[in-house]
Amino acid sequence: MKKLALTTAALALLAGAASAQDVVRMGTEGAYPPWNFLNDDGEVDGFERELGDELCARAELTCEWVTNDWDSIIPNLVSGNYDTIIAGMSITAEREEVIDFTQGYTPPDPSSYLALSSDLDVSDAVITAQTGTIQAAFVAEQGWTLVEFATPEETISAVRNGEADAVLADKSFLDGALESNPDLVMLDRMEQIGGGVGMGLRESDTELLETFDAAIQSMKDDGSLNALIEKWEVASTF
């Protein structure tokens, strides 16, 4: 109880400090369900939309949602086209050379393979992954044959069209893809890559980062973050 009270007090102080920037542009991809996607009304939806809105509410900030292609999502943050990245982005040392991250709002999500055949040897296969992801980096590090595509949908199509033998991506994304592609199979093999998922911010925005850090911690402390993770089935809980 004392820990929760202290966190709440810190959050209130930080929200006051951030009041000068009460509108925050939240950058996401809008193409990676259930993390983030565009619904039938063309609006950003999913786990990170609900999470981001709640974090902004706790910090007394107003969210404005912006979508951006994944392959330029970090450069456009740095250029000032939006204020945060909240797009299923894993915290890695390479990315931390360019931007800063809040604490993780999910633990690492296992990466899985979706293929046409259950007996596939991934080490001797053509593996596709989305450009600029931890999965693409992992395949390259193994020395396997990698084919990259700009969007998640293109990686699934590459397997279906025979351009690749399997796709490597977050298991939570591939679970949904499997439902709409019943001819594909999920391999038993999984990879544990990355250090959890956090919000990315410009290195100069330390005050805003502290504000969101406190909001994330408050959701961890009261159990609402775990409840949201379970609702959207994006990762394991804390």
SS3 annotation, 140-187: HHHCCEEEEECCHHHHHHHHHCCCCCEEEEEHHHHHHHHHHCCCCEEE
Q: Which residues of the chain have pLDDT under 50?
A: 1-6, 9-10, 12-20
Strand-pair partners of 168: 113
Q: Is 199 helix (H, G, I), strand (E, B) or coil?
A: coil
In this predicted model, what pLDDT tens digit does every residue of 3-61 receive, in sequence order? 444 455 445 444 444 444 589 999 999 999 999 999 999 999 999 999 999 999 999 99
* Packing angle of the helix pair 224-232, 206-222 (nearest 10 deg): 80
Whole-prediction pTM:
0.86
